[in-house]
Amino acid sequence: MKALVYHGPGEKAWEVVPDPVISDTTDAIVRVEATTICGTDLHILKGDTPEVASGRTLGHEAIGTVEAVGPGVTSVQPGDRVLVSCISACSRCQYCRDGHPGQCTGGGGWIFGYMIDGTQAEYVRVPFADTSTYRVPEGTTDEEILMLADILPTGYEVGVLNGGVRPGDTVAVVGAGPVGLAAITGALLYTPGHVIAIDLADARLKAAADFGADLTVNNGSEDAVAYVRSVTGGRGADVAIEAVGVPDSFELCTSLVRAGGRVANIGVHGKPATLHLESLWIRDITVTTGLVDATSTSTLLRLVESHKIDAARFVTHRFALDDILTAYDAFGRAADTGAIKVMMTR
């Protein structure tokens, strides 16, 4: 089969590799019918994650059809159309049993396109298939369901649930890229009073408004802290969600938030940030970090199925799977192309 293979920093190729085979009783082999690219894939390609071995097939999001299952798989059958989640859940370790498979110590967690071969390929081996795949509901499209592989659960769990968004809250989302838009989408499920999108790019702020942010601030040209105070009677935001991954945006979040507020970090950081405890120690602030657990996937599937979430609008560009290198180019130059998520299909 063909797969998108990482060959060290800056190097990738769409090339022939061996077909995956079942190697564990709980494995499934899935024929990939749609996949997408995540910002994390770009990080890996830059060489930011040296633990990724050269020769690794990238990608951790897919929809496809089950081709074969190991003898221990009971929930899915060959022929089933399934969503392949970015998180593999062994379901046996304490973290999985506590509802945190993102921290799985039993061989799961985030492993696709990282520790094992991923989904940007014609076929993929899916470990722990019973607890890491979801039947695609009737009457839904690949575009919308594919967004549940990673981005929507990430925005919802790591941003919105960790942030404890409640009806009437003022929610500031710093960073209006794909993950920020997913956080906005998730926050709106709780009917906040205001969703304030903050970004340096007007094009992304426009996207944020399209996705439902009722207020937007370009913090290159405007003082975001002053703005948030002005719309909250001086208090600050109830919740600030970090969706960039650099120290400045994290520190901005801790400045935006009211006494008693919450900062939910989603961004993937490469450097430490400064935590201004000299002013924050007294302010009852909660800061959370997290990798998605994908435990909200069933709920989000139900909401997409009942048209309560419009997931399809994340997909701005479509390609054939064989044109994945072109897709990477479009996604990598998002500022020019306006790409939010790109989809590659068979």
Question: Residues in the site for its own copies, rule: CB under 8 A?
Answer: 25-26, 71-72, 74-75, 89, 91-92, 94-100, 102-103, 106, 130-131, 166-168, 188-191, 193-194, 245, 247, 250, 259-260, 265, 267-278, 280-291, 295, 298-300, 302-303, 306, 308
Nearest-approach distance from CB 285 to its own copies, in angstroms: 5
Instruction: Using the minimum distance from each CB to its own copies, give the nearer residue, 303 or 343.
Output: 303
Quote the CA–CA distance of 58 and 52 in Å, as a whole number.
Answer: 10
Quote the CA–CA distance of 28 and 144 in Å, as a whole number.
Answer: 23
Nearest-approach distance from CB 261 to its own copies, in angstroms: 10
Q: Which two tokens stand for residue 149?
A: 């592989």
Helix (H) or strand (E) holding 315: strand 315-320
Instruction: Using the minimum distance from each CB to its own copies, give the nearer residue, 97 or 333.
Output: 97
Quote the CA–CA distance of 118 and 116 in Å, as a whole number.
Answer: 6
Nearest-approach distance from CB 130 to its own copies, in angstroms: 5
Instruction: Using the minimum distance from each CB to its own copies, give the nearer residue, 106 or 332.
Output: 106
Nearest-approach distance from CB 172 to its own copies, in angstroms: 16
Instruction: Using the minimum distance from each CB to its own copies, give the nearer residue, 46 or 276.
Output: 276
Instruction: Using the minimum distance from each CB to its own copies, give the nearer residue, 223 or 284.
Output: 284
Given a contact cutoff of 8 angstroms between Cβ atoms, the answer to whether 17 and 58 are in contact is no
Quote the CA–CA distance of 30 and 134 in Å, as a whole number.
Answer: 12
Nearest-approach distance from CB 214 to its own copies, in angstroms: 8
43 three-state secondary structure: helix
Residue 170's Cα: distance from chain center in Å?
A: 23
CA distances from 290 to 161, 241, 266 (A): 11, 12, 7
Nearest-approach distance from CB 330 to its own copies, in angstroms: 27
Quote the CA–CA distance of 7 and 272 in Å, as a whole number.
Answer: 28
Instruction: Using the minimum distance from each CB to its own copies, give the nearer residue, 141 or 289.
Output: 289
Looking at residue 312, what DSSP letter applies?
A: G
